[in-house]
Structure 1
Amino acid sequence: MNFIPHFKATILLLCFLSCTSSVFASDKNINVVVTIKPIEALVLAIAKDTVNIQRLLPDYASLHDYHFRPSDIRKLHNANLIFRIDEDMESFLTPLFKTLKKTDIISLADNHEIQLHSFKATDEQHTDHHHGSHHHHHNKDLHIWMSPHNGIVMAKAISQELAKKNPLYADFYAKNLNTLTQEIEQFTEDFSRKSKTFHKKPYIVFHDAWFYFSQSFHLNKLATISLHADIQAGAKTIHDTRQIIAESHASCLFSQPNFRPKTVNILIEGLTIKTAKIDALASHLKTTPSLYLDLLNDTAQQVIQCLGTGVERLRIN
């Protein structure tokens, strides 16, 4: 019996397996850096555990005044791929990005399928009272992930970029993209139906970080009052803000997680208005592959509790 062909075949098989396992091992060492948690949510939904994902902005930190740390520098210089919203959105990182030579930096807001809205257009449609700064790109609102449509577009772009870096998992990423797209579309359909019972009720908001969500479901915003969450409001500011709230006859006031509850209570004391918190950065949510859907569902539930009867529940799995 001739053992030589079997021996050669065995050697070839071992070499193939060795090379294949080496490819899988190296693919898992791809480092993906994201600037904010909503981007992390989309990357995680697509990539699962096939890449190493690191986020720069910690939970409850503010993009307005965040200062990068030495650990952020190391993350960026070790990255194979970086996802951000836009150079203006994460302007605190501009000095670091300029030092990177070969790393691919993907600005998701630059995608031609993203629906971008300007503050000027918003001001023409609403009686807004802006007293603070916003993230803008030529006066564009950059909280793009709060739109379900934009979420799908961002996920598609992320899937394509990951496939370039990690072609072995291209089909896996495409499958996860398809699943996520169906889930987002189902959420949009369900909440569109649910919100028809209260979408005309007027509301006001502090720092309109969720304009895209509101517009997606035709909610009735009366005004945006921009107060700095980290600065104690003075007596005149409190008085003027209370007057705006009282005269608006709004049903709900939406604030952010980092707004002082005491300040919110003072602003609405004696007024017939409910309050809720919209956490556009998903700071209070667990980082899991379902995080993006969790963010949409959490936002929807806050809206339902404040503008609806408060007893409805909405959950898309």
Structure 2
Amino acid sequence: MMNARSFIRFLITLISLLLINVIVSIANAKIITSVKPIGFIVEEIASGVTDTDILLPDGASPHTYSLKPSDLVKIKSAQLVVWIGEDMEVFMPTVLKNLDKNKQIELMKIPQIKALLQTGEPHEQGHDVDHDHDHHGEYDEHIWLSPTIAKIIAQSIHDKLIEQYPNKKAVIDENLNEFIVKLAETEQNIAKKLISVQNKGYFVFHDAYGYFESQFGLNNLGSFTINPAVQPGVRKIYAIQQALKEHQAVCVFSEPQFNPAVIGKLVDGTDVRVGELNPLGTGIVPSKGSYSHFLLKLTEQFLDCLNDK
């Protein structure tokens, strides 16, 4: 009889501890971001103020991601959710419609960002082979690839955090200042590095880099729409090979999700080199300086392929 009572007492204690843990974790709710590069910016501004977390794991695409039950718990208990917009993260609007508007920042709706948006066709030179673009909406939503927009994002996070943590204003101000100084240095560094390849033409498989290309004067000749999961047909391969030759492209850039064998077929019979770009910062840990590190890594990926070997 005593054993049964002891067991019930033990269960009650255990349940109480679990409930306390849940309440504590909700009380320490974090800033949640959707994609990693936005998470880099948020972490740099929130460092020493509050915890941050990122919904999408490495390798996941914001275009196709499905929320898990644990993601829903994170979003509901968050003090702030930072996301881009409904054309980029189609999984977010339904979940966020019941969340207090004061607890979310939809970056595409910030007036200063709106003023800098590019449409989905930033290239002057195109080609008539599948010159579709991987944007679901009117504007290019890959806004994290613009250092100029990144500063506006950082300022917006800063302002919101000061509202939520007025007693941490000094830390938040210092974090923003550090971020802006570091980013200005990084932009100068990238501009110097890329000046030697500005006339080198290339194609991409995912038209995500318009903001970065505009800022640093890169020569994107166009994009090919290829589903990473589907082998392109003979006609499509031939058409792409012709476009590569015709435009005298130096390089074609894929991304980690593309099968190397498919890329090999596309460039077969041409002098075009194959490079890989990673627009989502895979493998980089969010910390002070991580956004600049992400941009520099992307710069090196461009240079690896565009530089004369």
TM-score normalised to structure 2 length: 0.85
1:247 aligns with 2:246: yes
- Give the drift of 1:237: 2.2
Q: Secondary structure at the match of 1:285?
A: coil
Q: Secondary structure at the match of 1:196?
A: helix
- Give the drift of 1:309: 4.0
Give the aligned partner of residue 263 of structure 2.
264
The letter of the residue matching 1:80 is: Q
- Give the drift of 1:95: 1.5
- Contact 2:76-2:99 within 8 A present in 1 as well: yes
Q: How does 1:205-224 map to 2 (within 5 A)?
A: 205-224=204-223
Q: How does 1:1-317 map to 2 (within 5 A)?
A: 29-101=28-100, 104-114=103-113, 115-120=116-121, 122=122, 125-127=124-126, 129-131=130-132, 133-136=134-137, 139-309=138-308
Unaligned runs of 5+ in 2: 1-23
**How many equivalent pairs are there?**
282
The letter of the residue matching 1:104 is: K
Which segment drifts farther, 92-101 or 150-159?
A: 92-101
- Contact 2:254-2:276 within 8 A present in 1 as well: yes
Q: Secondary structure at the match of 1:119?
A: coil
- Give the drift of 1:152: 1.1
CA distance in 2, matches of 1:108, 1:82: 11
Unaligned runs of 5+ in 1: 1-24, 311-317
Q: Structure 1's 37 and 254: CA in aligned 2 closer, same or farther, altered over 3 A?
A: same
- Contact 1:253-1:275 within 8 A present in 2 as well: yes
- Contact 1:79-1:103 within 8 A present in 2 as well: no
CA distance in 1, matches of 2:269, 2:76: 53
- Give the drift of 1:132: 5.7
- Contact 2:79-2:103 within 8 A present in 1 as well: yes
CA distance in 2, matches of 1:27, 1:72: 13
- Contact 1:130-1:224 within 8 A present in 2 as well: yes
The letter of the residue matching 1:118 is: T
- Contact 1:155-1:177 within 8 A present in 2 as well: yes
- Contact 2:33-2:39 within 8 A present in 1 as well: yes
Q: Structure 1's 27 and 228: CA in aligned 2 closer, same or farther, altered over 3 A?
A: closer
Give the aligned partner of residue 12 of structure 1.
none
Q: Structure 1's 160 and 135: CA in aligned 2 closer, same or farther, altered over 3 A?
A: farther
- Give the drift of 1:209: 0.9
- Contact 1:31-1:80 within 8 A present in 2 as well: yes
CA distance in 2, matches of 1:168, 1:133: 43
The letter of the residue matching 1:93 is: M
Percent of residue pairs bearing the same amino acid type: 30
The letter of the residue matching 1:272 is: D
- Contact 1:252-1:274 within 8 A present in 2 as well: yes
- Give the drift of 1:118: 0.8
CA distance in 1, matches of 2:118, 2:148: 13
- Give the drift of 1:245: 1.7
Q: Secondary structure at the match of 1:263?
A: helix
CA distance in 1, matches of 2:224, 2:293: 27
- Contact 1:146-1:212 within 8 A present in 2 as well: yes
CA distance in 2, matches of 1:103, 1:65: 27
The letter of the residue matching 1:307 is: L
Which segment drifts farther, 206-215 or 103-112?
A: 103-112
- Contact 1:27-1:50 within 8 A present in 2 as well: no
- Give the drift of 1:49: 4.3
Q: Which runs of 4+ in 1 moved over 4 A?
A: 25-28
Q: Structure 1's 197 and 56: CA in aligned 2 closer, same or farther, altered over 3 A?
A: same
- Contact 1:82-1:103 within 8 A present in 2 as well: no
Q: Secondary structure at the match of 1:264?
A: helix
CA distance in 2, matches of 1:96, 1:31: 17
- Give the drift of 1:60: 0.7
Which segment drifts farther, 269-278 or 292-301?
A: 269-278
Q: Deviations over 1:121-161 (max 9, x none)?
A: x25x221543464243xx11010110111111111111111
CA distance in 2, matches of 1:46, 1:27: 21
